[in-house]
Amino acid sequence: MPNSSALRDALNQSPNNLSLLLLYGRACLEELHLDEAREIFTRALEQDPEQTDAQLGIAKVSFMEGNTSGAAVRAERVLFLEPDNVQAHLLLSRVFLSEEDRAKAIEHFDRAAQIDGTMSDPALERELGRTARDARKTTPAPAPEPVNQEPPPSGNDQDEFFDDPFDEPPYDWRPETFYAPGDPERGRVTFADVGGMEELKEEIRLKITYPLQFPDLYKAYGRKTGGGILIYGPPGCGKTLMLRAVAGEVPCNYLAVGLHEIFDPYFGSTERNLHQIFETARANAPCVLVFDDLDSLAQDRRQIRESQMRNLVNQFLHEMDGIRSENQRILVIGATNQPWALDPAFRRPGRFDQAIFVPPPDAPARAQIIELFAKDKPIAEFDNAELIEATNGFSGADLKWVFDRAAELALSAAIHTGQPVPITLELLLAVAKAHSPSTQTWFEGMNTHAKQQEGPDSIFNDMRKFLNAPSNSKTER
C-alpha cells in the first residue's frame, strides 16, 4: 500500500479520481486516520452511491469508532449488492462477535473462508477460536440471511456504545501454524535435510525430544524440558530451514509464530496476541514455539520510540519468564540475522538460555549440503573434495545457487544439443568460482556493531572466534 501522503499529493492533482479516492481512503484506514478516511469514502460515495469499496470503508471506520450498528448496516448494504463480498462477511463476523452472537459471527466467517480459499485473518480467527482452514472443511452453508430483508439504507450512522470485542478470552484458539504430531500439513523436512548444525540439532533433541522419549531418565537426573534457544548468524545459512526441520523432527506440538499473528492493525492489541500465542503453547505443552526474524519482535528497547512496541518487548520478556516458572515443557526457538538488534534482556538466563551461532557451513557441513543438492539431479560421478574447497565461506543458499545455476546451464546445453548433458564437477567449479560468498556484507556489518558494543558479549565473541579461525579467512574478505 503506498503511503497516504504520496496519495494525498496525487489526489490534490486529480481530486475527482475515484480510484485514487479509494486508494487514499484505504491508506488512511490502515494508518488509522479515521476522520480523513470517512471524509474520503464519503466523497467517493457522492460520485457513485453504490460504490461497495467506499461503503465498506465507511463501515470499517464506524466499527473502529465503536459504532457497530452503523457498521452492520453498511456491510449489509454491500452484501445486498455483492453477496460474495469477502470483506463484508468478515466485518459482519466481527460485528456479531462484538455483539456476542457467536453463531452468526461463525456463519459469516465460514462464508468468507469458503468464498476465498486463500483468506486468512489471524486476529479474527483467534477471537472465534476457529481457523479458516477449519471453516473450509465444513460443508458450505447457504449465504447468511441479511438482518434486514429490505435493501439496507446507505445513510448516516448512529452513535452507539462500543463493546470491546477483545474483552472475552479466546475460545480454544489455535493459529493455522499450530501443528499437532502427525498433522499431514506439518511438513516433511527433518534434520536430515539440514547440512551441519550438529550442536544445534543435539541441543534441540536434549531439550524436547529426549525428555519425551526418556521421561524417567530425565526425572532421575532432575533435568527439565524446554527453555529458550536463540539461533543467529548470516543470512542464507539455514536458520529458517532448521526451524522448519524442527517441525518434522520433534514428537510434540509445534507452533510457528508469524508476525501477522501478532501485529493487529484493528485494535493494536499486539501484546495480548503474543500472550495468547504463549497461552496456546502452554495449554498444548509439550510444544515448540518458533519465532523466525526474532529481531522484529524482540528489539532493543533503547532503540524504540513507540510505546506500543516497547510494551510488546516487555510482554515478550514477561512471557519468556513464564516459561521458566509456569511451564517447563515449552521450548522457544528464536532465529535472527541481527543479534545486535535484540534487547540484551532476552539473553539473560532463563530466557534464551543458549545462543548458538550458525556460521556459513564448514567443510563437513558443505559436504553434506553438496550431497543433498546433488541428490536426484543428473550429476556425473565426481569427487567432491575440490568443490568443498572452492566453496569455502559460501552459505547454504550460495551453494544452492551454484547447483541451480549449473543445472540451468546443463539444461540449456541439453536443449540445444538434443542430448542429455550431465552436471559436471567442472561446471560446478566454474559457477562457484564466479560467485562471491553472499555473507561478506553481513560480516562487515557485524564488525561495525561489535566495535560499538561496550564490554564482553558472548554473541560477538562467538562470531569473532569464527572469523579468526584460519580456515575461515575467506569469509572476511
Quote the CA–CA distance of 210 and 218 in Å, as a whole number.
Answer: 8
CB of 157 to ligand ATP, least distance (A): 45
CB of 371 to ligand ATP, least distance (A): 10
- Name the DSSP letter for residue 61: H
Residue 229, phi then psi, degrees to nearest 5: -125, 130
User: Based on CB atoms, which residue is closest to ligand ATP, 174 or 239?
Assistant: 239
User: Based on CB atoms, which residue is closest to ligand ATP, 64 or 367?
Assistant: 367
User: Based on CB atoms, which residue is closest to ligand ATP, 11 or 197?
Assistant: 197
Figure out which of the listed residues 143, 241, 304, 450 binds ligand ATP, where binding follows CB under 6 A: 241
Figure out which of the listed residues 29, 58, 237, 250 binds ligand ATP, where binding follows CB under 6 A: 237
Quote the CA–CA distance of 318 and 292 in Å, as a whole number.
Answer: 19
Sequence letter at residue 103: A
Subset of 287-316 contacting ligand ATP (CB under 6 A) = none
User: Based on CB atoms, which residue is closest to ligand ATP, 100 or 371?
Assistant: 371
Strands 253-257 and 178-179: antiparallel
User: Based on CB atoms, which residue is closest to ligand ATP, 85 or 299?
Assistant: 299
CB of 249 to ligand ATP, least distance (A): 14
Figure out which of the listed residues 144, 152, 196, 393 binds ligand ATP, where binding follows CB under 6 A: 196
**238 lies in the site for ligand ATP, by CB under 6 A:** yes
CB 53 within 8 A of CB 85: no
Among residues 66, 65, 63, 46, the alpha carbon closest in space to that of 154 is found at 46
**240 lies in the site for ligand ATP, by CB under 6 A:** yes
CB of 197 to ligand ATP, least distance (A): 6
**334 lies in the site for ligand ATP, by CB under 6 A:** no
Quote the CA–CA distance of 315 and 175 in Å, as a whole number.
Answer: 19
Q: Angle of helix 86-98 relative to helix 52-65, nearest 10 degrees?
A: 20
**Region near ligand ATP per CB under 6 A, out of 77-85, 194-202, 281-289, 458-466:** 194-202
Quote the CA–CA distance of 324 and 257 in Å, as a whole number.
Answer: 20
User: Based on CB atoms, which residue is closest to ligand ATP, 284 or 337?
Assistant: 337
Subset of 362-401 contacting ligand ATP (CB under 6 A) = 369, 372, 396-397, 400
Quote the CA–CA distance of 164 and 221 in Å, as a whole number.
Answer: 49
**437 lies in the site for ligand ATP, by CB under 6 A:** no
Which class for 18: exposed (0-12), middle (13-18), buried (19 or more C-beta within 10 A)?
middle
Compose the 99-138 pattern: x for residues touching ligand ATP by CB under 6 A, - for all others: ----------------------------------------
CB of 34 to ligand ATP, least distance (A): 36
Quote the CA–CA distance of 41 and 236 in Å, as a whole number.
Answer: 44
Cβ-proximal residue to ligand ATP, closest one: 396
Residue 308, phi then psi, degrees to nearest 5: -65, -40
Compose the 51-90 pattern: x for residues touching ligand ATP by CB under 6 A, - for all others: ----------------------------------------
Compose the 16-35 pattern: x for residues touching ligand ATP by CB under 6 A, - for all others: --------------------
Which class for 108: exposed (0-12), middle (13-18), buried (19 or more C-beta within 10 A)?
buried
**10 lies in the site for ligand ATP, by CB under 6 A:** no
Q: Which helix (H) or strand (E) holds 371?
A: helix 363-374
Among residues 92, 214, 234, 236, the alpha carbon closest in space to that of 165 is found at 92
Residue 357, phi then psi, degrees to nearest 5: -80, 130
Size of the site for ligand ATP (CB under 6 A): 17
CB of 361 to ligand ATP, least distance (A): 6
CB of 192 to ligand ATP, least distance (A): 10
CB of 384 to ligand ATP, least distance (A): 15
Quote the CA–CA distance of 448 and 304 in Å, as a whole number.
Answer: 20
HEC sequence for 298-311: CECHHHCCCHHHHH
- Name the residues that contact ligand ATP, by CB under 6 A: 194-196, 235-241, 337, 361, 369, 372, 396-397, 400
